Amino acid sequence: MKLKSLLTTMLLGAVSVAANAANDIVIETDNTALVYSVGDNGRLYQHYLGKKMKNPADYTAGPRGGEAYITHGMEDYFEPALHINHPDGNSSSVLKYVSHATKALPDGAKETVITLADDQYPDKVDLHFVAYPRENVIKAYTEIFNNGKKPVTLDKFASSMLHFDRPNYYLTQFNGDWISEARPSEIELKFGKKELDTKLGARANMFVSPFFQLALDEPSRENAGDVLVGTLGWTGNFRFTFEVDQLGKLRVISGINPYFSKYTVKGGESFKTPEFIFTLSNNGKGQASRNLHDWARNYQVHKGNDDRMTLLNNWEATYFDFDEDKLVSLIGEAKQLGVDMFLLDDGWFGNKYPRHSDTQGLGDWDETANKLPNGIGRLTEEAKKQGVKFGIWVEPEMVNPKSELYEQHKDWVITLPNRDEYYFRNQLVLDLSNPKVQDYVFGVVDNLMTKYPDIAFMKWDCNSPITNIYSNYEKDNQTHLYVDYVRGLYKVLDRIQAKYPDLRMMMCSGGGGRTDYEGLKYFTEFWPSDNTDPIDRLFIQWGYSQVFPAKTQCAHVTTWNKSASAKFRTDVAMMGKLGFDINLHDLSENDLKFCQNAIKEYNRLKPVILDGDRYGLVAPYNSNHTATMYVGKDKKQAAVFAFDMFPLNVEHLTNVKLQGLDPNVTYSIKEINKSDATSSHYANYSGEYLMTVGLPLFSTSRMSSRVYELTAM
Ligand code: DGJ
């Protein structure tokens, strides 16, 4: 390999490999280091990405890796990170190191900015790295400056480029569709390119989640091996490119999908990419997920360290078929159940075109008079009376062609001027690149909040991808639409957050069509899937848990899969942000009692489940059983959830070793959440015993489940 590499270097006529130690740039967390060095040619190279070492000189003792941010048009033959078209027709760039600076951020993170510039063109590129020491997470993004007078166009503008030189690479992607989100599959990467991308614009993650796991050397394992987990914070088209070259080296390029997104940067202006967020674990996927969960709660998710509200949602209980009386009675049911909030879903608005189905009314945000003669106010009053909070569904980025909004403002709609319109869920997307549309979308929320200040929560839905791609606003810059749409959305969400800092919101997109960390800066939680069958949910929630903490994943008890007991359905939902989407009369008296008790247990265990560390004990894939546990940060309390999905009647069942406990502490173990709403003492064991010998968590009863609470004695 070394000889091959030397030959290639000679063939390419590349310059000296020596690094200039004075210019080594070390970006470190408590466990990871990403190190760059400057070659004699003045260009910047990734020198090291791996475990943190004691002696910084060791980072550059070995050979350097690939160029940090490879540009189009020069001596590299594979996918570049950057492609700038200059006004004179020259589309090549050579970036040379100019300077770097590191500063501590007020939140404890450390930011390093490396400045590169082209000495033939007035282009400057800042590579930003924000390192979170304790969480072992690094955020990378890039700002591309056009310091010339004339505009340049960007064909490619990656957030980040990382290089690896390992014997083998294994990529896990998470893809699916409506009601089958976040299904993992792992492949070995060989020569050539693998891309994970989306071109859906809005509802961007319908087919693929914006994150991946990259296991180095050997296939990924839960608790061993080097795994890099990366995700892009961008609520729109993303692309991850994994390319293995002829020498077996891998580059990973992450950013906005450049598909139909050539972007013009005027003289004196810049283009800032979204953030690529990654963690490198030397102890497998489990540790990587806990790193991201901690980082997300501490730094990224809106109100990441605050409590979450349990709720009763009326969507599956009523769909569009409700009126004031029905809702008032459901608000009473929320109280009876013991949840914190009632959430009114789709179907409450539109008068010329009442929203009786998904075919009309979207865009007309006034209450349907014959359904809600006394408006939302009657409902917020009732909620107040019952002592529950009130939440409401909106889908403000979208419009039905059968709506007053469409009739009045066709120019606000993304639709091709000279072609027949085609629809996804009978609707179209509003053009958020247009500031007037941004004002309108902000106004939907602002008007509701002004009129009904008691609204505590919004479920913000987005059921269509961008279809009929044409902007009446962008005119000659049609290729800006995908990017400017998302930027417009953030402008609206910034305004909402500034004016209503206490408003909590759920990011929803026809199930899990929007699941990214930039979105979660504005939203307290997301709706992972419309699929609430508890068996399917065990898979879906496991998938998302690789990147997102339980606190952000809404999990509702519904009537999907009635052959599963209310206990089974509730136990599954208790592993996320618990809610109910059910008519209480669909529950037997005993089940209602069970659910009421489960909510109390959940409230008690929230600090463990929502803010503790998650350990995936037995994955549901290729298994008849699955188990997950959550351990409180002080290791004094833990909750273990064990599920038998479809076991055989006779199976060799073995103990499951617990994880994350204090080996020196004895834990008292209680089975809680029993179907008769009781709990019982199970045993006392040391943490060491539980992690070495384990517990017989599983049974051969189909769709049965158990929840154990462990308390340090
Ligand atoms: C899609 C969402 O995922 C559902 O939960 C529900 O809110 C419907 N939209 C309403 O139209």
The Cα–Cα gap between 116 and 144 comes to 10
Residue 583 confidence (pLDDT): 94
Q: What average pLDDT score do residues 501-512 get?
A: 98
The whole-number pLDDT of residue 31 equals 98
- CA nearest 218: which of 277, 271, 285, 162? 285
Integer Cα distance of 597 and 672 in angstroms: 10
Please tell me whether residues 404 and 460 are part of one structural domain. yes
This prediction has a pTM of: 0.96
97 and 145, same structural domain? yes
Please check whether residues 484 and 563 belong to one and the same domain: yes
Last residue of a domain, one of 241, 265, 300: 300
- Of the three residues 611, 627, 658, the one that is the final residue of a domain is 611
Domain at 411, CATH number? 3.20.20.70
pLDDT at 5 over 50: no
- My answer on whether 501 and 533 are in the same domain is yes
Q: Is the pLDDT of residue 15 over 60?
A: no
Q: Is 677 found in the same domain as 599?
A: no
**Residue 508: φ, ψ to 5°:** -135, 145
Q: Is the CB of 549 under 6 A from ligand 1?
A: no
**Alpha-carbon dihedral 410, 414, 416, 421, rounded to 10 degrees:** -80
Q: Which residues contact 453 (CB under 8 A, 6 or more apart)?
A: none
Q: Are residues 619 and 664 in the same domain?
A: yes
361 lines ligand 1 (CB under 6 A): no
pLDDT band at 7 (very low <50, low <70, confident <90, very high): very low
Q: What is the pLDDT of residue 11?
A: 35
226-261 tens-digit pLDDT: 999 999 999 999 999 999 999 999 999 999 999 999
Residue 627 domain flag: yes
Tell me: pLDDT of 294 over 90: yes
For residue 99, give both structure tokens: 């300077």
| Distance of CA 527 from the midpoint of ligand 1 (Å) | 9
What pLDDT sits at residue 8? 37
Q: Which residue has the higher pLDDT, 20 or 309?
A: 309
Q: Which two tokens stand for residue 649?
A: 């009647």
How far, in Å, CA of 199 to CA of 529, rounded?
A: 20
Identify whether 353 is part of a domain: yes
Residues 6+ apart with CB under 8 A from 689: none
Taking only the tens place, the pLDDT of each residue in 522-544 is 999 999 999 999 999 999 999 99
Which atom, in ligand 1's list, is nearest to the CA of 345? Answer: 7
For position 23, what pLDDT does the model report? 75
> Any idea what the Cα angle at residue 50 is, between residues 619 and 182, rounded to 5°?
30
Question: Model confidence over 68-111: pLDDT tens digits?
Answer: 999 999 999 999 999 999 999 999 999 999 999 999 999 999 99
Q: Which long-range contacts (CB under 8 A, 24 or more apart) does 61-67 make?
A: 63/5, 63/17, 64/17, 64/19, 64/37, 64/39, 65/163, 65/165, 65/249, 66/161, 66/163, 66/249, 66/251, 67/43
Report the CATH number at residue 629. 2.60.40.1180
Residue 501 to residues 21, 504, 514, 519, 522, Cα–Cα distance (Å): 47, 8, 21, 15, 10
Residue ranges with strand state E in 609-679: 613-618, 625-631, 637-644, 666-672
CA distance 36 to 59: 9
Distance CA(629)–CA(706), nearest Å, equals 12
CA of 514 to the centre of ligand 1 (A): 13
Joined together, the tokens standing for residue 323 give 């009126």
Q: Is the dihedral of CA 561, 562, 568, 571 positive or negative?
A: positive
Residue 542 is assigned to a structural domain of this protein: yes
Are both 398 and 483 inside the same structural domain?
Answer: yes
Cross-sheet strand order for the sheet of 680-686: 613-618, 625-631, 637-644, 704-712, 666-672, 680-686
Q: Which residues pair with 440 in a beta bridge?
A: none
Q: How far apart are CA 334 and CA 343, in angstroms?
A: 9
- Measured in angstroms, how far is the CA atom of residue 508 from the centroid of ligand 1? 8
Residue range(s) defining the domain that contains residue 67: 3-300
Average pLDDT, stretch 425-447? Answer: 98
Q: Which residues partner with 120 through β-bridges?
A: none
- What's the gap in Å between 236 CA and the centre of ligand 1? 19
Percent of the chain with pLDDT over 90: 96
Work out which ligand 1 atom sits closest to the CA atom of 511: 3
Q: What angle do CA 640, 603, 504 make, to 5 degrees?
A: 115
Closest ligand 1 atom, residue 358 Cα: 11
**pLDDT band with cut points at 50, 70 and 90 for residue 276:** very high
Ligand 1 pocket, residue 511 CB under 6 Å: yes
- Please tell me the residue having the least CA distance from ligand 1 atom 9: 510
Concatenating the DSSP letter of every residue in 52-103 gives: --S-GGGGGTS---SBTT-BTTSS--S--SEEEE-TTS------EEEEEEEE
- Domain annotation covers residue 305: no
Q: Specify whether 508 is located in the same domain as 568.
A: yes
Per the structure, the count of domains in the chain is 3
Q: Are residues 595 and 671 in the same domain?
A: no
Q: Report the C-alpha gap between 259 and 237 in whole angstroms.
A: 8
For residues 580-608, average pLDDT: 97
- CB-based contact 644:704 (threshold 8 Å): yes
In a domain, 698, yes or no: yes
Say how many Å lie between the CA of residue 207 and the centre of ligand 1. 17
Residue 317 shares a structural domain with residue 437: yes
pLDDT tens for residues 192-227?
A: 999 999 999 999 999 999 999 999 999 999 999 999
287 in a structural domain: yes
CA distance 405 to 432: 15
Q: Is residue 275 lining ligand 1, measured as CB closer than 6 Å?
A: no
Q: Could you give the percent of the chain with pLDDT greater than 70?
A: 97
Dist. CA 211 → ligand 1 center (Å)? 24
Enter the tokens of residue 482: 């995908």
List the CATH number of the domain containing 286: 2.70.98.60
Query: Based on the number of CB atoms within 10 Å of its own CB, is 46 exposed (0-12), middle (13-18) or buried (19 or more)?
Result: buried
> Is residue 13 very low, low, confident or very high in pLDDT (cuts 50, 70, 90)?
very low
Which residue's CA lies nearest to atom 11 of ligand 1? Answer: 346
pLDDT band at 21, cuts 50/70/90? Answer: low
Written as one letter, the residue type at 254 is: S
In this predicted structure, the answer to whether residue 337 has a pLDDT above a threshold of 70 is yes
Q: Is the pLDDT of residue 400 over 60?
A: yes
User: Are residues 93 and 37 part of one domain?
Assistant: yes
What's the mean pLDDT when you consider all of the chain? 96
User: Which of left, alpha, beta for 589 (phi over 0: left; psi -120 to 50: alpha)?
Assistant: alpha
Residue 48 pairs in a beta bridge with 35
Instruction: Supply the pLDDT for residue 22.
Output: 61
Q: Does ligand 1 lie within 6 Å of residue 348's CB atom? A: no
Question: Does ligand 1 come within 6 angstroms of the Cβ of 508?
Answer: yes
**Residue 344 alpha carbon to ligand 1 centre in Å:** 11
* Residue at 204 is within a domain: yes
pLDDT of the residue at 3: 41
Boundary residue ending a domain (270, 300, 330): 300
**Residue 590 shares a structural domain with residue 466:** yes
Residue 18 has pLDDT above 60, yes or no: no
Q: Does any domain span residue 306?
A: no
Q: Which of 174, 156, 175, 41 is nearest to 91 (CA)?
A: 156
pLDDT exceeds cutoff 70 at 159: yes
Which 3 state secondary structure label does DSSP give 467?
Answer: coil
Is the CB–ligand 1 distance for residue 245 below 6 Å? Answer: no
